[in-house]
Amino acid sequence: MADLENNSLKTQLAILGGGPAGYVAAIRAAQLGADVVLIEEKELGGVCLNVGCIPTKALLKTSDTNTVIKKSKEFGIESSIENINWKTAMDRKNRIIKNLNAGLEQLIKARGITVIKGRGKVRSDRKIIVQTADGTINVICEKMILTTGSSPLLPNVKGIDSDGVMTSNDALNMDFLPEHMVIIGAGVIGLEFATMFGLMGVKITVIELADKILPEIDSEIAAELQKIIKRQGISIKLSAEVTNIEKAEDGLAVTYSQGESAYTLNCEKVLVAVGRKLNSAAIQDLPLQFDKGAIIVKDTMETNIDGVFAAGDITGGKLLAHLAFMEGKVAAENALGINSRINKNAIPACIYTHPEIASVGITEDEAAAAGISIKLGRFNFRNNGRAQTLGEREGMVKIIADESNTIIGAHILGANASEMISELTLAITLKATANDLANIIHPHPTLNEAIWEACGDLMGSAIHKL
């Protein structure tokens, strides 16, 4: 553990940012015997643990429970919902965050990692100045890893700073459920919140500038999800641009254009979910190479400056916590002399709508754009016995393989998709063929049998498909 002397701290490795990339890098480096200083202004765990992945999933469980109760008659149980106590749901969410924070702090402490709570600013490739509550600390390091993350992006819209306009951070701390919410953006964040609040009885209108939802997701899967969430009562306005937000008698008035026409919606809350901006303010003194705001890194996660590595959202690409975990691990290992890489062909992504989407590898559109000749296999959950018993019949598994039947992409829309995608991530990592998975014995009845059947469909051997 590093010792403070004359407001200076010398260490082998300094890490700026305690989110998923940063804390994983710190723990991995400590495992390898390094002396590590971890600098974080806010809470350890970053966006994911405190205002992202974990709190949203806690509240999604509340909305899922609400949905199960509403459809319980289908399962022979007569029940009704007397009241939704949103404060109780929020308290539960906060307890989960607190417990995970405590566990993470214990992990960091047990590894002998020095944590400095304060705002860090990089002055050179070997020096970070940290402003803490008690003064300034100069961290002198042999090597450093930059993991400064990202923040919600606010578009240039008149009235965007009005009371009642929220980012995803704000939405996770609402003290009541509004009657009507407008969500700007039909990407991952916007649609997760749309289904979460929509299933809680909030009237939801989603306004999206593009002509389709989830532009980075396989088009067939995204189109199917759009049909499903429309049946859930969520209104989606595509090719629409918000032009003004202003105070109204009962909340906010949102004006948007669609084609040549303009429309105005009245609502209580507006959630802005148009994307995220990368946090680079603290690293501007370094002559780093950037591309569209993201630090350019080698496959070792090292930047153009020797001994300076970067990981997580600040390096751009897919802003995923689990990718940040691995990037932090790889950065730490390479910083300490271990040759380590990431398989960028097998990065799973999950969207926690209802039902969920999970994907790995390329989409059908990407294959077409790259001129790759592909084979497709599909299997609908309505033909899966386990899905029928669960009352979760919507969605499908879609497998994409090349001409040699090697799986290069996989997409799932359905219940527990996020728990199923790892089989297909492993398949792509190991360069397995659809025939390999079609010949693996899957337990029955399970949702995973849909993967077996989709691979069988690609090979012409699906059993439960006409």
The 3-class SS string of the chain reads CCCEECCEEEEEEEEECCCHHHHHHHHHHHHCCCCEEEEECCCCCHHHHHHCHHHHHHHHHHHHHHHHHHCHHHHCCCCCCCCCCHHHHHHHHHHHHHHHHHHHHHHHHHCCCEEEEEEEEEEECCEEEEEECCEEEEEEEEEEEECCCEEECCCCCECCCCCCEECHHHHCCCCCCCCEEEEECCCHHHHHHHHHHHCCCCEEEEECCCCCCCCCCCHHHHHHHHHHHHHCCCEEECCEEEEEEEEECCEEEEEEEECCEEEEEEECEEEECCCEEECCHHHCCCCCCEECCEECCCCCCECCCCCEEECCHHHCCCCCHHHHHHHHHHHHHHHCCCCCCCCCCCCCEEECCCCEEEEEECCHHHHHHCCCCCEEEEEEHHHCHHHHHHCCCCCEEEEEECCCCEEEEEEEEECCHHHHHHHHHHHHHCCCEHHHHHCCCCCCCCCCHHHHHHHHHHHCCCCCCC
Among candidate residues 244, 246, 236, 247, the one with its CA nearest the CA of residue 262: 244
Clarify whether 444 is annotated catalytic: yes
Catalytic residue among 180, 322, 442, 444: 444
At 338, list the tokens: 């271990």
Q: Tell me the C-alpha distance between 371 and 403, whole Å.
A: 12
Q: Is 209 exposed, middle or buried (0-12, 13-18, 19+ CB in 10 A)?
A: middle
155 to 37, 50, 82, 167, 247: CA distances (angstroms): 36, 23, 39, 11, 18
Domains and their CATH numbers in the chain? 4-151+277-335 (3.50.50.60), 165-274 (3.50.50.60), 349-459 (3.30.390.30)
241 to 152, 165, 186, 259, 336: CA distances (angstroms): 19, 16, 12, 9, 48
Q: What is the pLDDT along the chain (466 residues), one digit of tens a residue?
A: 566 667 899 999 999 999 999 999 999 999 999 999 999 999 999 999 999 999 999 999 999 999 999 999 999 999 989 899 999 999 999 999 999 999 999 999 999 999 999 999 999 999 999 999 999 999 999 999 999 999 999 999 999 999 999 999 999 999 999 999 999 999 999 999 999 999 999 999 999 999 999 999 999 999 999 999 999 999 999 999 999 999 998 899 999 999 999 999 999 999 999 999 999 999 999 999 999 999 999 999 999 999 999 999 999 999 999 999 999 999 999 999 999 999 999 999 999 999 999 999 999 999 999 999 999 999 999 999 999 999 999 999 999 999 999 999 999 999 999 999 999 999 999 999 999 999 999 999 999 999 999 999 999 999 999 8
* Dmax (CA) of the chain: 76
pTM: 0.95
